[in-house]
Amino acid sequence: NAGVTQTPKFQVLKTGQSMTLQCAQDMNHEYMSWYRQDPGMGLRLIHYSVGAGITDQGEVPNGYNVSRSTTEDFPLRLLSAAPSQTSVYFCASSQNTDTQYFGPGTRLTVL
Amino acid sequence: DQQVKQNSPSLSVQEGRISILNCDYTNSMFDYFLWYKKYPAEGPTFLISISSIKDKNEDGRFTVFLNKSAKHLSLHIVPSQPGDSAVYFCAASRLFQTGANNLFFGTGTRLTVIP
**Cβ neighbours of residue A20 closer than 8 Å, sequence gap 6 or more:** A75, A76, A77, A78
> pLDDT of A51-101, one tens digit each?
999 999 998 999 999 999 999 999 999 999 999 999 999 999 998 666 789
What is the pLDDT at residue B99?
A: 55
Instruction: Give the residue from B1, B24, B20, B23 showing the smallest Cα distance to B12.
Output: B20
What is the pLDDT at residue B95?
A: 64
**CB-closest option in A42, A100, A101 to B108:** A42
A40 near B CB under 8 A: yes
A41 near B CB under 8 A: yes
By C-alpha distance, the chain B residue nearest A58 is B102
Which residues of A are less than 8 Å from B96 in CB distance?
A: 56
Instruction: Give the residue from B8, B30, B1 showing the smallest Cα distance to B75.
Output: B8
What average pLDDT does this structure show over B46-51? 93
B109 has a pLDDT exceeding 70: yes
A50 near B CB under 8 A: yes
By C-alpha distance, the chain A residue nearest B30 is A98
* Residues written for chain A: 111
Which residues of A are less than 8 Å from B41 in CB distance?
A: 104-105
More confident residue, B103 or B22: B22
H-helix segments, B1-115 = none
Q: pLDDT-derived band of residue A29, with 50, 70 and 90 as boundaries? A: very high
By C-alpha distance, the chain B residue nearest A56 is B98
Name the average pLDDT for chain A: 93
What is the pLDDT at residue A63?
A: 95
Q: pLDDT-derived band of residue B4, with 50, 70 and 90 as boundaries? A: very high
Distances (CA, A) of A10 to A7, A41, A56, A89, B41: 8, 20, 26, 10, 11
* Residues written for chain B: 115
B3 has a pLDDT exceeding 70: yes
Judge: A42–B46 Cβ closer than 8 Å, yes or no.
no
> By percentage, how much of chain A surpasses pLDDT 90?
85
B45 near A CB under 8 A: yes
Judge: A102–B43 Cβ closer than 8 Å, yes or no.
yes
